[in-house]
């Protein structure tokens, strides 16, 4: 079987990601009226007044195509995090960026490492490109970085690490993540998914590590704390 056939077989075997159900669907399905939804990390208090004002202001340009490069947003993010705007890639949510990373750096001939009980999208994007899934058993429902390091082979191209982890909520101390990064060869891309980083209390800024590790990609999102 060639690599193309393997990719087709992998795509055919994909199972759809099942998100939390909308409140309207829950009301129809269970016949209830008052619903408190906790499944999708959505704020129950709604957008702030500042956000509502910004949305209202933006409606004046709804008939125009937006800047596909996101220049103004990249500039604001580069100032906030003190990195070059050229280092920033924007996407339609983390899922979009995670899939883009997988398609850019891995192929059906490669292996992708992730932890058991980690974000469901990691195996999905790996399977979508036909790469080999390497799921490392979890340690107390979190990442076992020592075992993940041992799982690296000459075929490894990508390693996904969610910190804090979704959905188990476990957290890896920054010192352990940094030590792990030091042990990974430069030809292996490490994706540090920090969608929930704002909920932690460590003062270490992992973005500073980008200067030290050329194989590090950090993902963050507006869909959680923001």
56, containing H or E segment: helix 49-58
- In what order do the strands lie in the sheet containing 156-162? 132-136, 111-115, 156-162, 189-193, 216-219
Q: Residue 17 corresponds to which tokens in the numbers above? A: 């990601």
Give this prediction's pTM.
0.86
10 Cβ contact list (under 8 Å, min separation 6): 108, 127, 128, 129, 130
Low-confidence ranges of the chain (pLDDT < 50): none
State the pLDDT at residue 6: 58
Measure CA of the first residue to CA of the last residue in the chain; give whole Å.
46
State the pLDDT at residue 33: 87
State the pLDDT at residue 5: 63
Contact of 166 with 200, CB cutoff 8 Å: no
């Amino acid at each position: 079987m060639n690599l193309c056939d393997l990719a087709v077989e992998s795509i055919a075997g994909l199972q759809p990601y099942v998100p939390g159900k909308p409140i309207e669907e829950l009301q129809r399905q269970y016949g209830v009226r008052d619903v408190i939804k906790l499944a999708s990390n959505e704020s129950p208090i709604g957008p702030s007044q500042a956000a509502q004002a910004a949305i209202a202001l933006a409606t004046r340009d709804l008939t125009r195509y937006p800047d596909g490069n996101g220049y103004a947003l990249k500039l604001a993010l580069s100032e906030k995090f003190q990195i070059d705007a050229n280092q920033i890639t924007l996407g339609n949510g983390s899922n979009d960026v995670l899939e883009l990373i997988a398609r850019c750096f891995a192929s059906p001939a490669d292996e992708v490492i992730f932890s058991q009980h980690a974000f469901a999208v990691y195996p999905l994007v790996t399977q979508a490109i036909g790469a080999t899934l390497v799921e490392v058993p979890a340690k107390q429902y979190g990442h076992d970085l020592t075992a993940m390091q041992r799982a690296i082979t000459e075929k490894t191209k990508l390693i996904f690490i969610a910190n804090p982890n979704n959905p188990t909520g476990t957290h890896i101390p920054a010192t352990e993540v940094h030590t792990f990064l030091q042990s990974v060869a430069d030809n292996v891309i490490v994706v540090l998914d920090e969608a929930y980083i704002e909920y932690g209390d460590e003062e270490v800024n992992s973005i500073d590590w980008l200067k030290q590790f050329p194989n590090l990609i950090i993902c963050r999102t507006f869909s959680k704390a923001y």
